[in-house]
Amino acid sequence: MPVQNAEIAALFDQAAELLEIKGDNPFRSRAYRRAARLIEGLPKSVTSLLKAGEDLSELPGIGKDLAGKIAAIVTTGKFDLLESLKDELPGDLGEIAALPGLGPKRVKLLYDKLGVRSIEDLYRAAKAGRLRELRGFGPKSEAKLLAALAKPPSQKRFKLAMAEAEAEALVSFLRPGLDKARVVVAGSYRRRRDTVGDLDILVAAHRNAAVGDRLSKYENVANVLAHGPTRTTVVLRSGLQVDLRVVPEQSYGAALMYFTGSKAHNIARRALANERGWKLNEYGLFDGERRIAGATEEDVYGKLDLAFVPLELREDRGEVVLAKKKRLPKLVSLSDIRGDLHVHSEWSDGTVPIADMAAAARERGYAYMAITDHSQRVTIAHGLDPARLSRQIDEVDRLNDELEGFVVLKGVEVDILADGRLDLPDKILSRLDVVVAAVHYKFDLSRQSQTERIIRAMDNRNMSILAHPTGRLIGEREPYDVDMERVIAAARERGCHLEVNAEPERLDLTDVHAQAAKSMGVKVAISTDAHTTAALGYMRFGVDQARRGWLESGDVINTRPLGELKKLLKH
C-alpha cells in the first residue's frame, strides 16, 4: 500500500517530539520538523517521486540521510528511528506533550522527576498536587491540566492540508471507474474549514453498488464500516473516515448542498422553504410531492430567491440575509494575490537562497515578494543581528538590480520581546520595506500582559504587520490568551495590518478574527511563512481562510500594485 505524504510527515513529527523529550540536539529535531513540513507541501506524493527515479536528497533541507529514511518508510512502512525512540521513551509521552501548557521540555521534566510515562501517571501526579513541586509548574498549570484530562475525548480532526491530500488521492482513484459521473468532496472540507472531521464524498451515478465496491477496494482503506447500494463508509490508514453516498442526477444539487452544510446554514434555508409551504431536504426542493428544484445548487438557491452563497460562507453568520438582498461580498481569490509578504531563506531557517525563492515566486505570477528572515533572538533559526541583516539588505539590492518586472522587498520577521520592544534597533528596521513582528516565546503571559505587549510593539512606527496573531499551532498548541478585539482596534489606530498566515499548521488569523478585522476596517496580508519554494503554494489555504472571514480583494494589502502596497506598509 503506498505511503501517503501525510503519513511520512506524521512519523517525522513524532520523531521530532520524542527527540526533544529525550533532550537530543535541538537542530536534529528541527530538521525532522522542517522535513515534515516540506513533505506535506510537495505537489506530488513521495512514492510517485521515488518511482520516477527522483533523487529526494536534492529537495531543500532533506539531504542523503533523510532521503534514505524516507525511502525506507515508503518501502517497509516503518520508521526505525521512531521505533527505537519509543523503546527508549515508553508510554504516552508524545500524547502528553500535546496537552495544554506542556511541551517536550516540560514532559522531560515530568518523566525524569516524577516518572510520568502515561496519561494515567500524569493524572495521578496532578491530582496529588505533585506537579507544583517542579520548577515552572504551579497550582494554575496543575488545575489547567486536570481540566484538560477530565474532558471526554473528542473526535479527532485533521488539518485541511492533510485532508486535501487524502481527498485528492481518493477522488483520483475513484474517478476512472465512474465514466463521466460527477464526484465531489462535500462537508467541512468543501467549506474549507481549517480542520476536517471526516470526508463526505458525493457521486451522481447509475451503477450504485459499483461505486462502493471500488471504494472498499482502495488500497489505503484500513477498515470497511458499512457497504450498501447507496452508502459506503470506510476508515483510511490515517484514521480519517470517509462516507461515500451515491445519489441520482435529479437530486445531486440538493444533496450536495445538504452534505456540504453547515447544519446551521441548512436550517436557515429550510426555514425559507417552509415559509412558502415547500419542503427542502437532500432529495430536492418539493411543492407537495412535486420536485421543483434539486439537480443543481444554483437551481435550489434561485428557487428560494437567494443569490448563490459561496461555499466558505455557509456558516449561518448572516450570509442568508445578504443572499436574499443580493448583497453578498465578492470574496478575494487566489488570482487577486500579487505577492507574498512573509518568506524565509537560508539566511535563517529557510532552505534555499533568496534568489531561488524570488524565482519561484515569480513563476507563480507574483510581482513582488518580501524576504523576512528571523531576527537575532531566534538563535535556533540562526536569526539575523543588525550586521547580518545589513549584509542581507545589500544582497537584496544587488538582486533587484538584476531582476526585471519583479521586486524583492527588504524585510524581517522580528521578535516581539516580553516587554513589547522589537528585537532589533530602529536604525536597521527603518531601512526595510516591511517589518513583520511576531510573538515566539512567553506564550503564558496573562491576557492583559500579552495584549499590552503586542500593542506596545505596534507603537513602533517601523512595524508593518502582526504575524500569526494568536500563536496557535492547530492540534498542537492553543492560542495564547490575548484580547483580539483590543489588538484589532489598536491596529486600526496605528495603521498596522494583521496577517492571515497560510501555513496549514497555523491558519492564523482564524476566520472569525478575520471577519472582525474587516468589520473594524483593519486590512490583512495573506502570507505563506514559506521556508521552501514548495511552501509558496500554501497561499491557497490562506485565501481559503480569508474567504471564510468574508474578506474581499480590497481588504487584503498584497492584492495591491507595488506602489500602493509600499504606502500601506508605512504607519
Give me 212's grid cell: 462502493
DSSP classification of residue 521: T
Share of the chain above pLDDT 70, in %: 97
Count Cβ atoms within 10 A of the Cβ of residue 498 and give its class: 0-12 exposed, 13-18 middle, 19 or more buried. Answer: buried
Window from 149-153, 227-231, 275-279, 486-490 with minimum mean pLDDT: 149-153
Is the pLDDT assigned to residue 407 strictly greater than 80? yes
Is the pLDDT assigned to residue 1 strictly greater than 60? no
pLDDT value of position 152:
66
Window from 14-23, 235-244, 344-353, 561-570 with minimum mean pLDDT: 14-23
CA distance 281 to 294: 9
Phi, psi of 438 (to 5 degrees): -150, 155
- Residue pair 156/239 in contact (Cβ under 8 Å)? The answer is yes
Segment 103-108 mean pLDDT: 78
CA distance 459 to 98: 34
Window from 20-24, 87-91, 245-249 with minimum mean pLDDT: 87-91
Window from 106-115, 339-348, 410-419, 465-474 with minimum mean pLDDT: 106-115
pLDDT tens profile 36-65: 888 877 777 888 888 888 888 888 778 889
Is the pLDDT assigned to residue 100 strictly greater than 90? no
In which order are the strands placed within the sheet that holds 368-371? 339-343, 368-371, 407-415, 434-438, 465-466, 497-501, 524-527
pLDDT band at 17 (very low <50, low <70, confident <90, very high): confident
Q: Is the dihedral of CA 155, 161, 167, 170 positive or negative?
A: negative
pLDDT value of position 459:
97
DSSP 46-77: HHHHHHTT--GGGSTTTHHHHHHHHHHHHHHS
Which of 91-100, 163-172, 377-386, 430-439 shows the highest mean pLDDT? 430-439
Q: Provide the 3-class DSSP secondary structure of residue 568.
A: helix
Q: Which residues contact 359 (CB under 8 A, 6 or more apart)?
A: none
pLDDT value of position 511:
97
Q: What are the C-alpha distances in Å from 85 to residues 11, 15, 77, 80?
A: 12, 7, 17, 9
Is the pLDDT assigned to residue 220 strictly greater than 90? no
Task: Report which of residues 356 and 131 the model is more confident about.
Answer: 356
Share of the chain above pLDDT 90, in %: 64
CA distance 482 to 280: 42
Segment 30-34 mean pLDDT: 85
532-562 burial: b if 16+ Cβ within 10 Å, else e = bbbbbbbbbbbbbbbbbbbbbbebbbbbbee
What's the one-letter identity of residue 523? Answer: K
pLDDT tens profile 139-157: 877 787 888 777 766 678 8
Instruction: Catalogue the long-range contacts made by 361-364 (C-beta closer than 8 Å, 24 or more residues apart).
Output: 361/406, 361/536, 362/403, 362/406, 364/536, 364/539
The model's pTM: 0.86
Instruction: Please report the domains of the chain, with CATH numbers, ordered by start residue.
Output: 5-150 (1.10.150.110), 155-247 (3.30.460.10), 262-328 (3.30.210.10), 334-568 (3.20.20.140)
Segment 437-441 mean pLDDT: 96
Is the pLDDT assigned to residue 472 strictly greater than 60? yes
Between strands 221-227 and 231-236, the pairing is antiparallel
